[in-house]
Amino acid sequence: MIRKTVILVLGAVLGVFAGIEFYRIRHLREPVVAGPGVTQAKKLGDYFPGIKGTINDCNIYVLEGEKPGGSVLVLGGSHPEEPSARLAAWILAENGRLEQGRLFVVPSANRSGTTVTRPSGAYPADYTIRTSWGEKKFRVGDRWANPLDQWPDPEVYIHYPTKQNLAYMDGRNFNRAWPGRPGGTLTERTTYAFIQMIKQEKIDIVIDMHEAELQYPVISTIVTHQKGQDLAAMVSMTLTGEEFKIGVEYSPKTLHGLSHREIGDHTDAISLLFETPEPFLDATRGRTDAKLLLEGKDDFVVRAGKRGLLFEKIDENGWPIDIRVGRQTSTILSVLDLWTMDHADRGVVLKNVPKYAEVIEKGIGAFLKDPAKADPKKVYYE
């Protein structure tokens, strides 16, 4: 009996350590210091009561200009393990100022997905960005919502309303659940809430930021609904000429559930989706740690590139997070500039957000604010 008790106690100690780790991942507090341009912080549940009070009742930071204009929604965290999307949203919310129009910024569109990492993936739980005032920690998250929040998975995920069959786990994939439905799963209710928000706020453009593995052909590009073809082509030409190479892909009309297809089909908004390269996601990667997530350096992925298996270049310098975030902010700024040029009355003029070269030069940390020194009324938690 003594032996059994000793083994049980040792097991309990292991259980406590594992339990603390899992609890910490799920409850790590990520502060956002609302910047000078944020006039109000809304909740997704303000637009659809069916999501109110759930884990996906996420924050929506609203930046408003004095001059009336159009409205743009920027989504980060659709797939939380694609960190440049969340970090770019952080930079917008903490630094942006609007001169015209309105900008809605969401750092954690699928908040449930930020509270879990991929089972058996040996993923890091979090990562840290260094700043001049200290360090800021973020959850790594997963591509899918947490099974604790949405369970069980079906044998086959049948997309609503098209009945297209998708992989079973994509029932928890935020970017396979558009346009959603009011009585559906948590993920479907989340996308449905965003559709209501887009309609109620008369959003002109929705930007959904993502990252992709280098073995995936849709990379370093803007995926656009047909309504946004001209805009995306202009942005691609401008950025490729002035800052970095970025392509354009057209949203397939028969591939359903994705934001670039369904938002364009079900609302008046133009839907655009950005992809930057993230070696952390590649199947042939080496150790999956926070260093790889942030530096994007991996010998195995480089080797895959030498064998012609990749759709984007990579060398020993990798794809550091500053470059990836800079691509996101510059692409957003370019979209807004070119949209405003053609739609003066529906323009959205955003200032004080760093472009590609500035993010690389100063690092992301230079644009993250210290919550300890901020007015507590301006600090929100993701």
Partner 1 sequence: MIITILYYLLIAFVAFLIIGNLLKSKKWQEEVLYVIVLLPFLLRLLRLK
Residues lying near partner 1 in the complex (CB under 8 A) are found at 3-4, 7-8, 10-11, 14-15, 18-19, 22-23, 26, 116, 148, 151-152
- Residue 142 or 211: the one with the smaller Cβ distance to partner 1 is 142
Q: How far is the CB of 3 from partner 1 (least distance, A)?
A: 6
Q: How far is the CB of 77 from partner 1 (least distance, A)?
A: 20
Measured CA to CA in angstroms, residue 133 lies from 61, 136, 233, 368 at distances of 24, 9, 40, 9
**Contacting residues for 306 by C-beta, under 8 A, at least 6 apart:** none
Q: How far is the CB of 221 from partner 1 (least distance, A)?
A: 35
- Residue 15 or 161: the one with the smaller Cβ distance to partner 1 is 15
Strand partners, 260: none
Count of other CB atoms within 10 angstroms of residue 261: 23
- Residue 17 or 250: the one with the smaller Cβ distance to partner 1 is 17
DSSP class per residue in 193-235: HHHHHHHHTT-SEEEEEEEE-TTSSS-SEEEE-GGGHHHHHHH
- Residue 13 or 218: the one with the smaller Cβ distance to partner 1 is 13
Q: How far is the CB of 156 from partner 1 (least distance, A)?
A: 17
User: What residue type is assigned to position 178 of the chain?
Assistant: W
- Residue 22 or 300: the one with the smaller Cβ distance to partner 1 is 22
Q: How far is the CB of 148 from partner 1 (least distance, A)?
A: 6
Q: Which residue has the tokens 């706020």?
A: 201
Q: Encode 326-337: b = buried (16+ Cβ within 10 Å), e = exposed.
A: bbbbbbbbbbbb
- Residue 26 or 130: the one with the smaller Cβ distance to partner 1 is 26
Q: How far is the CB of 181 from partner 1 (least distance, A)?
A: 17
Q: Which residue has the tokens 């009585």?
A: 183
Contact criterion met (CB below 8 Å) for 160 and 196: no
